[in-house]
Structure 1
Amino acid sequence: MKNSCIFLLALMALMTNAHAAESQTQQLETAVSGLWQAMSHAPGVAADIAALQPLFHPDAVVAGARPGGALSQQSGAAFLQSLSQVSAKGFYECEIGREVRLYGQFATVLSLVESRGAPTQKDADFTGINSLQWYHNGEKWQLLSLYYYLEQKPGELKLWPLAAGARRASAGACL
């Protein structure tokens, strides 16, 4: 009887841990999708800063480069400030690939993203690969760093080999 109780308690603990891990994974997936959706905006409108701010850790860093260009780096706060400016052009991010690696409170996400001036535009203006590092603070995931690099040759990143289990959509069909 005692062994049965111990077994049941151990099984319940495993199930609770599995549920917590699944919940954290779903929270992370939602945060990544929310990041790309909140950055997108119609002409004459800014990005959704109210949705973006809680996703960024106070010490977040955003860095990136275009092929052959110099690396630029800024704080997450400066990046959000730049996104708060109203733009005459629309900007739509469409994530077409995502590879997630999660360990405890740490996660890294490789994300392939197409950018367009209009959501109905057939071809992307550019495609980039993004490396995102996330930290779970006990309540939610927050972005610690985002490093982007734009495609060197058109169409090249659509063939980027993501790890087994990664999600991928065809061009223009956002995850």
Structure 2
Amino acid sequence: MKRSLGTLLILLGIGYHSSAQKEEYLSKVQTLDSTIETLYAVISGEAGEKRDWELFRYLFTADAKLLPSRANEEGKIGYRAMTPDGYIETSGNWLETNGFFEKEIYRVTETYGSLTHIFSTYESYRSESDEKPFTRGINSMQLMNDGERWWVLNIYWLGETEDNKIPEKYLPK
């Protein structure tokens, strides 16, 4: 009987921790700004720094997609569709091993009802102390507010290249 009681206490402790953590996470998705700030912050960190992948997953709807896009060797534009878990599987270890910071430098937001579309211009760094980014691009994000919180539905992104510079209208003034 003592073993069962001990197991129950452990499970209750885990449940309490998860509930408290969910409350903390909920505070990060109450505004559009806090949701976007959390998205950039959760993937960013110095080399060797673990990311909070549970928080990352919490930002997205169950069927959300992440869609990196780029030109192949022939110059044809394509994309790859991933779930948040797919992103973690393909990029998580690299981000934590090499260090990566993505910083929003400009944003254009359009909202209609519960639907919001954001063009978020970013710069990427290997370390927060880097003075110059190693790349830039635009994240096209679709978000929804269900009346209780913000959800990320999709992120489709394209990095800047020599042949495809970011238009001035998507850069800081």
Which residue, 10, 23, 29 being the options, matches 2:33? 29
Question: Contact 1:53/1:80 (CA < 8 Å) preserved in 2?
Answer: no
1:76 corresponds to 2:84: yes
- CA distance in 1: counterparts of 2:127 and 2:161, whole angstroms: 22
Q: Deviations over 1:5-43 (max 9, x none)?
A: xxxxxxxxxxxxxxxxxxxxx701110111011110110
* Partner SS for 2:136: strand
- CA distance in 1: counterparts of 2:55 and 2:118, whole angstroms: 19
Q: Alpha carbon RMSD of aligned pairs, Å? A: 2.5
Q: Does the C-alpha gap of structure 1 residues 130 and 112 become closer, same or farther in structure 2, counting only changes over 3 Å?
A: same
Residue in structure 2 matched with residue 19 of structure 1 by the alignment: none
- CA distance in 2: counterparts of 1:160 and 1:46, whole angstroms: 35
- CA distance in 1: counterparts of 2:80 and 2:37, whole angstroms: 24
Q: Deviations over 1:103-140 (max 9, x none)?
A: 22110110001111011112111101110000112211
Residue in structure 2 matched with residue 17 of structure 1 by the alignment: none
Q: Does the C-alpha gap of structure 1 residues 80 and 153 become closer, same or farther in structure 2, counting only changes over 3 Å?
A: same
Which residue, 136, 145, 153 being the options, matches 2:154? 145
Consecutive unaligned residues in structure 2, runs of 5 or more: 1-29
* Partner SS for 2:93: coil
Residue in structure 2 matched with residue 109 of structure 1 by the alignment: 118
- CA distance in 2: counterparts of 1:145 and 1:27, whole angstroms: 17
TM-score, L = length of structure 1: 0.70
- CA distance in 2: counterparts of 1:66 and 1:73, whole angstroms: 12
Question: What letter corresponds to residue 142 of structure 2 in structure 1?
Answer: Q
Q: 5 Å matches for 1:89-108?
A: 89-108=98-117
- CA distance in 2: counterparts of 1:79 and 1:88, whole angstroms: 15
- CA distance in 1: counterparts of 2:85 and 2:144, whole angstroms: 17
Question: Contact 2:122/2:138 (CA < 8 Å) preserved in 1?
Answer: yes
* Partner SS for 2:131: coil
Question: What letter corresponds to residue 149 of structure 1 in structure 2?
Answer: L
Residue in structure 1 matched with residue 51 of structure 2 by the alignment: 47
- Say which is worse superposed, 106-115 or 73-82, in terms of deviation: 73-82
Question: What letter corresponds to residue 56 of structure 2 in structure 1?
Answer: L
TM-score, L = length of structure 2: 0.71
Which residue, 34, 56, 63 being the options, matches 1:59? 63
Question: Contact 1:46/1:83 (CA < 8 Å) preserved in 2?
Answer: no
- CA distance in 2: counterparts of 1:134 and 1:81, whole angstroms: 23
Consecutive unaligned residues in structure 1, runs of 5 or more: 1-25, 163-167, 171-175
